[in-house]
Amino acid sequence: MPKNDNYPASLVDSFGRKVDYIRLSITDRCDFRCVYCMSEDMQFLPRDEVLTLEECSRLVKAFVSLGVKKVRITGGEPLVRKDALWLFNEIGHLSGLNELVITTNGSQLEHQAQALKQAGVRRINISLDSLDAARFRKITRVGNLDKVLRGIAAAKQAGFEKIKLNTLLMRGVNDDEALPLVAFAIAQGIDISFIEEMPLGLVHHTRNSTYVSNEDTLKLLRARYDLIGSVENTGGPARYWRVPNTDTKVGFISPHSHNFCESCNRVRITSKGELYLCLGQENKVDLMPLLREYPRDDKPLIEAIIGSMNIKPKGHDFDLKRAAPAVIRFMSHTGG
């Protein structure tokens, strides 16, 4: 990594927001086909159009050299990537990196949780949208709930600093499971976040018809639990409430009902090396050509990252009433 006093100690966009968090997708592939994330007949990228794990490592090291403190590895499903553990071991103990975290569907955790913990992963987010096996399979199209539950148990046994469930409620699909899922999180001694569905990619349903507001979910939960507002923050967009007399926090990620763009501190890198400055906009910089044209010189890469801050937009532009989605690319393409 080049040492140059002309490089900034941190990344700051044109609106004065400090970017210290990246989400890096290491694959667009997944062993599930969740209805809100992928089409049923997804076409995945050829191998030569996907970042190598060595290129992923270079990217992380470049961002950390520019003040990034938190790195989240995503997919697709990151743990279906062959030799993914090599990358976690390579970056898990970087000087300057405070948090290495992962978002997963949980399908591979039964056998990989302990190795991830040893590699330096501190926190883990596991997607779980239903506790009913048949419904879980319908939402994921191919997923096995028991396998995911065993993965959650393995993650608990491995001793991660924090384990959190990520749940997306859809009206008429699983919106009756908010209370059971919170009860499950409490019983497991872990956290849970509810994420409002975002208009990304062409899906088989009309998002306006399935959208569940986090305001409605919070109202439902407060009728059952004496939730206490919390100022705790994990570096992302979630707003948290504590469940009294438990170890569980309930988070809400609300891109529609409570826009969080004013405090955005993150960028996303796709498995193709596209640096997206906003989940809901198309502003991007292609980093893969620089990685491959200059395999031993990170200066062009770092300068491109610094320059990208000038095109980071003020915010996303989600509108569920639009006939077409705000962004055509699927969530699995951008990185979950």
3-state secondary structure 122-169: CEEEEECCCCCHHHHHHHHCCCCHHHHHHHHHHHHHHCCCEEEEEECC
Instruction: Write down the pLDDT at residue 257.
Output: 52
pTM of structure: 0.90
Task: Please check whether residue 252 lies inside any domain of the structure.
Answer: no
Residue 260 amino acid letter: F
Distance of CA 7 to the CA centre of its chain: 28
Question: Across-strand partners of 200?
Answer: 327
254 vs 216: CA distance, rounded Å? 11
User: How buried is 192 (Cβ within 10 angstroms: 0-12 exposed, 13-18 middle, 19+ buried)?
Assistant: buried
254 vs 214: CA distance, rounded Å? 6
Instruction: Write down the pLDDT at residue 261.
Output: 77
What is the count of structural domains for the chain? 1
DSSP single-letter state for residue 44:
P
Question: Across-strand partners of 163?
Answer: 124
Task: Please check whether residue 328 lies inside any domain of the structure.
Answer: yes
Which helix H or strand E contains 93, and what residues bound it? none
Q: CATH number of the domain at 17, please.
A: 3.20.20.70
Task: Please check whether residue 114 lies inside any domain of the structure.
Answer: yes
314 vs 236: CA distance, rounded Å? 17
Q: What is the pLDDT along the chain (336 residues), one digit of tens a residue?
A: 655 668 999 999 999 999 999 999 999 999 999 998 888 888 899 999 999 999 999 999 999 999 999 999 999 999 999 999 999 999 999 999 999 999 999 999 999 999 999 999 999 999 999 999 999 999 999 999 999 999 999 999 999 999 999 999 999 999 999 999 999 999 999 999 999 987 654 555 455 678 999 999 999 999 999 999 998 877 777 899 999 999 999 999 987 555 567 889 999 999 999 999 998 787 899 999 999 999 999 999 999 999 999 999 887 654 545 444 445 555 556 665
Cα radius of gyration (the chain): 19
Task: Please check whether residue 258 lies inside any domain of the structure.
Answer: no
Task: Please check whether residue 281 lies inside any domain of the structure.
Answer: yes
Task: Please check whether residue 188 lies inside any domain of the structure.
Answer: no
Find the domain containing 41 and state its range: 11-163+263-334
35 vs 20: CA distance, rounded Å? 31
121 vs 112: CA distance, rounded Å? 12
Instruction: Write down the pLDDT at residue 286.
Output: 98
Task: Please check whether residue 194 lies inside any domain of the structure.
Answer: no
32 vs 128: CA distance, rounded Å? 12
First vs last C-alpha separation in the chain: 28
Task: Please check whether residue 6 lies inside any domain of the structure.
Answer: no
Instruction: Write down the pLDDT at residue 312.
Output: 94
Tokens of 164: 């959190």
Instruction: Write down the pLDDT at residue 205.
Output: 47
* β-bridge pairing 162-167 and 191-195: parallel
